[in-house]
Structure formats: structure tokens, C-alpha cells
Copies of this chain bind each other. A is one copy, B any other.
């Protein structure tokens, strides 16, 4: 059997969710451990995960390499990889890139929605591309094996990251704008540049990224994947569900507002729909990966293609990306 890899989750972690990962046959998950956290605050999140690893060794394990996924699979556990959705944990210190990699970080977004020290986020009006520090940090990320993730970045910044990076980058959790023109979804230009450089796109199941949002059908989602495969090549595609299971609405507020404003910012939501939107009925939690797999078969993907999108393609990308250059 192939791999099942989810390249983005940010759940309110619990034994229940870890057991659902096992029930869903999920071999590896890239989990977000920082949105706006400083270095020291991010370390507290690693400490929290270390306690999960100590408490639930039969369900999960810390992972650093693609080979760890095979070990996890053989032992019936889920391999957990860390990532940041913002470069806040490296503060203004390029030396922290290697330190964070040493602590297990394998993905870092150059921006969340706002301007960062490195690049421009997708909610800013003006996009000035990679900053001076941004170019230095991308090179350092390339050196140590920390993957550049541009899921929440603006167009020019994303294209410049693709061009400046000497290694393939990732958009771990977003969908094509041609299917659903959300601010967080990506243009054809970005998707083509990503594919041409060996990068990866992880399809998001966060309702604001879906055509029809919560009511999006599995068939529509899988047909979109087929259309994207035409454009990018199926081997460039994976899943990054953006599953935020069991999170209270206070957490989506932290994600959106952090400490950067005293005013409320609804991000992709609105005053009347401020919290986490309900997930589609065919993808409620980690037990539903089989539905996506069936949906891909139903729209005509061959078995090898299904296996690639469900995890094989991320496995190959992890194997090529997580070590020193």
C-alpha cells in the first residue's frame, strides 16, 4: 500500500485525533507549530509536542526525514513533521534557521498574511517581493534543508521565492484560483512556475479555499485536481488539508490577529461568520482520507497517480528536501 501524507494540519491535538490519524491510515502529517510565535514561544510548542511523543509513543513519533515515515509505517504510527506558517520564530536572526531545522522544523512560510521581514503576504495591498533578508534566509533554508512554503504569500513574492530558491519550494495548502478565486488560492502563473521548478502543491480542504465552501462536492474537488494535473503534472500534487479540528474560535482569531493589531481582522471570514467554517461532509477528520482516494479513482486517475497524490509525491519531495544541500 502507498503512503498517506497530509502536508498541513493545525488541530487542537488530543489522543482522539492521534487515534483518528491511525484509523485513517495517515502515515505522516506536517503540523503547524507557529503562527506568530517568537523563537522562545515556538520552543514551547516543541516542548508540548515532546510531551505528546512521550505520552503516545504507540500512536505518533517525531520525524525528521522521509525514511522516518517508513519507520512510523512499519510500527503502525504516524510521523509528525513540524512547520511554521510565519518566519516569526527566526526573529531577525538568520542563525536561527539552522537551529529551527535542528529542532525538527521542515517547512517555513516566508509570510503569513502580512508583510514579514522576508516577503509580502497575500493580504497586503502592495507586494514588494523578497526583502534583502528574505533572499539571505532562502539561501540559508536551501543550505540546511528547511522548505520554503509560500501558501500565504502574495504573487510577486511567491514568484521571486521560486526563482531565488536553489531547491524546489512548496505551497503546502492552497488551491488553484482558476477553480475558486480566493485571495489564498494561486494563479496559473504561480502554479506553472512552481511545477517547472519541481515544486509541490498541496490541495487544501479549508472551506474558504473550496468552490462552494462547506458545500463543495468531492467530485468537484477531484475534478479540480485532475485539471491541475493537466497543468502541473500529477507528480507535483499532494494533499495539505489545513484541517483545524476541534479548535475553538479563539484560535482562528490568534491566527488572523496575533499581536499585530488591536482591531479584529476577519481574514477569509466575516463578522457574521467569524469562526472556523464547517468542513465538507466527505472530509470531517483524519478518518476520511479514503474518501479522497475513492474520489480520485472516480474521476479517472490511475492507481499509481492516486498513490502519488495521496502521499507518494510528498514522500519523494520530503526525501529530496529535508537534508543539507
Chain A interface residues (CB < 8 Å from chain B): 39-40, 43-44, 46-48, 50-51, 93, 95-96, 98-99, 102-104
Interface residues of chain A: helix, strand, loop or mixed (majority): helix
B47 touching A43, Cβ below 8 Å: no
Cβ distance A16 to chain B, nearest Cβ, rounded Å = 23
What are 22 A-B residue pairs whose CB atoms fall within 8 Å in the complex? Answer: A39-B40, A39-B43, A40-B40, A43-B96, A43-B99, A44-B95, A46-B99, A47-B93, A47-B95, A47-B96, A47-B98, A47-B99, A48-B95, A50-B95, A50-B98, A50-B99, A51-B95, A99-B103, A102-B102, A102-B103, A102-B104, A103-B103
Name A102's closest neighbour in chain B (CB-CB). B103
Name A43's closest neighbour in chain B (CB-CB). B99
Complex Cα distance, B79 from A269, in Å, reads 53
Cβ distance A105 to chain B, nearest Cβ, rounded Å = 11
Cβ distance A29 to chain B, nearest Cβ, rounded Å = 20
Cβ distance A100 to chain B, nearest Cβ, rounded Å = 10
Cβ distance A115 to chain B, nearest Cβ, rounded Å = 25
Name A62's closest neighbour in chain B (CB-CB). B102
